[in-house]
Amino acid sequence: MKGQEWGSSPIRGLPSLSHEKTGERDLGLDESDPGLEPEESRESFQVLPEETGTRLDVLVGRRLGLTRSYANRLVRKGRIRLSSGQTPKPALKLNEGVRVEVFIQEIENLDLVPEPVDFGVVYEDEDILVVDKPAGLVVHPAPGHWTGTLVHGLLHRDPRIGLINRVLRPGIVHRLDSTTSGLMVVARTSDALDKLILSFKTRAVEKTYLALCWGSPKERTGRIDAPIARDPFNRLRMAVVPGGKGSVTDYRVLARYREGFSLLECDLLTGRTHQIRVHLRYIGHPLVGDGLYAPKKISPFSTDRVFLHSWRLTIPHPRDGRRLSFRAPLPADLTEVLRKLHPEG
């Protein structure tokens, strides 16, 4: 039975992007893992002039986007250190310039304060929400990004999501890098969350990306089958490493440009961290704008942005299993890059 589809073609004038795909999928791994390592994180900040006289628990909560009750617990449990040498107490009022260090260990029990955050909504019903995440938006709270994440925005839009028993990442089934834009599905109930996670693990989800890479792959279609693990020489990156986790990416060249770029459609058959970015770098065609995997290449973007967009997402609905397909056209910053290029032929 043919499923329903929402959205439109991502770019006018390019070949159809709705061809049949084959091959097994293994998306229930790194990229879709709903957990987070419970390691300790240290955050620090200095008291600003306008914050002089503010209670310590209020200040910590405000700076890190936490509820006052959670910030209060951090203070009482001795998770705060002050450069002034004072003993941290919830009601302590600090002077300008004092450095506050906060040690957060109980990451999974973090209390989050909902915030208005800008993101698109492609589809919603009582079970799921399909969002179009803009580049620059971090999906969930993590060290260095305790406020203004997609999760904060989801809680602001739908407080029910906060009732799901995964407090740090309520409703989140899979992730996109902050530098990547496009489609994500979010669960609105615990039952929907469990069923969506199962759908990823049983290879019932299809995710397709559009990417602009440097150079031109020799073959118009291809498969990159190379194991991925943490880069042994740079802990911030992943890399193709013998003995790493099996990783497979299919690609199709949609357009080649005279300036030395190619537009690709990439289909993930596994879901490793940075998979497309790592695989394309491995074959000598890193993504445009990718400062992490192609640091010597000039980026057309003024911000931390990679030309990678999650444009199509197909899932079985968690309530009745009917297949739903969604599309999100390329955002303006990416289409602007393409407008300046000249297709070959």
Residue 214 lies in a domain: yes
**Residues 236 and 205 placed together within one structural domain of the fold:** yes
Q: Answer yes or no: is 24 within a domain.
A: yes
Residue 303 lies in a domain: yes
Instruction: Please check whether residues 85 and 168 belong to one and the same domain.
Output: no
Residue 61's CATH number? 3.10.290.10
Q: Which of 51, 85, 105 is the last residue of a domain?
A: 105
For residue 292, the enclosing domain spans 4-36+113-339
**Position 344 in a domain:** no
Of 125, 118, 184, 126, nearest in space to 149 by CA: 118
Cβ atoms of 246 and 270 closer than 8 Å: yes
Q: What is the pLDDT of residue 168?
A: 55
Which of residues 54, 75, 105 is at a domain's end?
A: 105
Within a domain: residue 260? yes
Same domain assignment for residues 69 and 147:
no
Same domain for 270 and 306, yes or no, is: yes
Which residues lie closer than 8 Å to 340 by C-beta, 6 or more apart?
none
User: Do residue 147 and residue 189 come from a single domain?
Assistant: yes
Q: Are residues 183 and 125 in the same domain?
A: yes
Residues 242 and 155 in one domain: yes
Cα distance between residue 220 and residue 341, in whole Å:
19
Which of 105, 124, 156 is at the close of a domain? Answer: 105
Query: Which pLDDT does position 27 carry in this prediction?
Result: 35
| Residue tagged active-site, from 177, 267, 290, 333 | 177
Q: Is the pLDDT of residue 211 over 70?
A: yes
**pLDDT grade for 15, boundaries at 50, 70 and 90:** very low
User: pLDDT value at position 2?
Assistant: 46
Whether residue 183 is predicted with pLDDT greater than 80 in this model: the reply is: yes
**240 lies in a domain?**
yes
pLDDT given for residue 17 in this prediction: 42
In a domain, 28, yes or no: yes
- Answering whether pTM is above 0.85, one says no
The number of folded domains in the chain is 2
The answer to whether residue 345 sits within a structural domain is no
pLDDT in tens, 58-109: 999 888 877 777 788 889 999 999 999 999 999 999 999 999 999 876 544 4
pLDDT in tens, 114-132: 899 999 999 999 999 999 9
- The confidence band for 142, taking pLDDT boundaries of 50, 70 and 90, is confident
Q: Quick one: 30 and 173 in the same domain?
A: yes
125 and 224 co-located in one domain: yes
Q: Which CATH number goes with the domain that contains 272?
A: 3.30.2350.10
For 212, how many CA atoms within 13 A lie in the half-sphere containing its CB? Answer: 24
Task: Check whether residue 173 and residue 54 sit in a common domain.
Answer: no
Per the annotation, the verdict on 177 as an active-site residue is yes
Residues 137 and 257 in one domain: yes
Same domain, 73 and 117: no
298 vs 4, residue with greater confidence: 298
